[in-house]
Structure 1
């Protein structure tokens, strides 16, 4: 603003002895000054845009260099704190990660499917109100990524003489990762009793990534494909009783092709 004011002031300086016709020159000078200032502002804007584009390009190139395919290269992740892990090995279609322990706030999801709109929205809003201040400290916490969804179905054995099958009582849960600056002692207690705080232990996880919208059928296909691939690994196997966990990294307004979703299964090393 200071440079604009200076330019205008300079343009408006016309000696009092100048005839009225000088006002035309003065007006022309003012237009020139405004044009030059606008051009300067535009140049600055272009320079900032260029710098931001370079940063985005660097980020994209780094992502492409680590991606296994174009789908993964296009996936984006918000600049938020996330689950701490390190990659142990990378394979076609999945990778093995050593995931560190972390805290979550979780709640049960209504419905028999994990990705129904009503159930997902209700669970999301329940936990969101907790981190936005509905807690014993009325404290707002930072957003993190991803949002986790897990099927914790309880297997029930049938004991009749005629039938010997298993049935599953679906119990889906959604969880938000808590900021690492908190511990169990310092994390505010939820006012809503349906929200619970839990520490997830460190684990070895097999993870596959995909873009697009998440559905129960898509998760089932990704899980089955990864299970089959892990059987050929030779070094790890799916841990008995492991249940699939789905991570969604992006806000709802992110175009499907740029979303990052993950399906994860706990694995264990094969002992010789």
Structure 2
């Protein structure tokens, strides 16, 4: 079974949730490309790291989700983003931060040093997120639509987003769209 960050659900409303994440470490890389290409390029760089592209040549267990955040968002929100591919209204251009969650058995001190100097690590602790789960093969149009749906839900519930919106994908690329687990996440107070 593939490890994912642990969290507790504080509120559930259909496919929407408010969650608290106690902490995790991200391996991240910034990629300048289209939504689709950024995910492919970033995934490849980070997968190389966990499959032995590090100073110890150590293979790390695969985790999920793979996340992406568009860093070129015209809608600037204070950024304390954890996990991901942030996506602005113009989701088909910009710079994206692609992230893998590191296995919980590692600390910043025990993770092997990457051979690729574009990879950096970020430790996240005690955060609350709004999450919206959906299926399908994510593209920029779908991401924009699901982000709009989460924004609507947040507005209806008087919840302010505190980060850019994050697209999280949990499945191997070979999994058919209708079986895929995806989420839009955004940090909240």
In 2, Cα distance between the equivalents of 1:194 and 1:171?
14
C-alpha contact (below 8 Å) 2:73/2:164 kept by paired residues: no
154 and 208 in structure 1: CA distance in 2 versus 1, 3 angstrom threshold: closer
Give 1 or 2: higher helix fraction: 1
- Tell me the distance in 1 between the aligned counterparts of 2:62 and 2:105: 12
Structure 2 unaligned regions, length at least 5: 77-89
- Secondary structure (helix, strand or coil) at the match of 2:160 reads strand
Q: CA 1:154–1:255 in structure 2 vs 1: closer, same or farther (change >3 Å)? A: closer
Q: Which whole-Å deviations, capped at 9, do the CAs of 1:69-118 have from their partners, x for residues lacking one?
A: xxxxxxxxxx211011110001144110011211111111231x3223xx
Deviation for aligned residue 1:156:
10
Q: How big is the shift at 1:200?
A: 2.4
Q: Are the equivalent residues in 2 in contact too, given 1:93–1:226 (CA < 8 A)?
A: no
Deviations 1:204-240 (A, max 9, x none): 1010011111011111111111111111214x3322x
Post-superposition Cα deviations, 1:33-79, rounded to whole Å, max 9, x if no partner, equal xxxxxxxxxxxxxxxxxxxxxxxxxxxxxxxxxxxxxxxxxxxxxx2
Partner residue, 2:184 = 263
- Tell me the equivalent position of 2:116: 192
- 2:160 counterpart of 1:237: yes
Aligned-partner SS, 1:175? strand
- Say whether 1:124 aligns with 2:24: no
**Structure 1 gap segments, 5+ residues each:** 1-78, 158-166
Task: Give the match for residue 205 of structure 1.
Answer: 129
Tell me how large the CA RMSD over aligned residues is.
Answer: 2.2
The TM-score, its normalising length taken from structure 2, stands at: 0.85
Correspondence for 1:220: 144
What residue in structure 2 maps to residue 105 of structure 1? 27
The corresponding residue for 2:58 is 139
Give the Å deviation of 1:191. 0.8
Higher strand share: 2
Residue 251 of structure 1 corresponds to: 172
With normalisation by structure 1, the TM-score equals 0.60
Larger radius of gyration: 1
Q: Which consecutive aligned stretches of 4+ in structure 1 deviate over 3 angstroms post-superposition?
A: 154-157
8 A contact 1:103–1:197 mirrored in 2: yes
Q: Residues of 2 paired with 1:156 and 1:266: CA distance?
A: 15
| Cα deviations by residue, 1:119-170 (Å, 9 ceiling, x for unpaired) | 322221111111111111111111111111111226599xxxxxxxxx9982
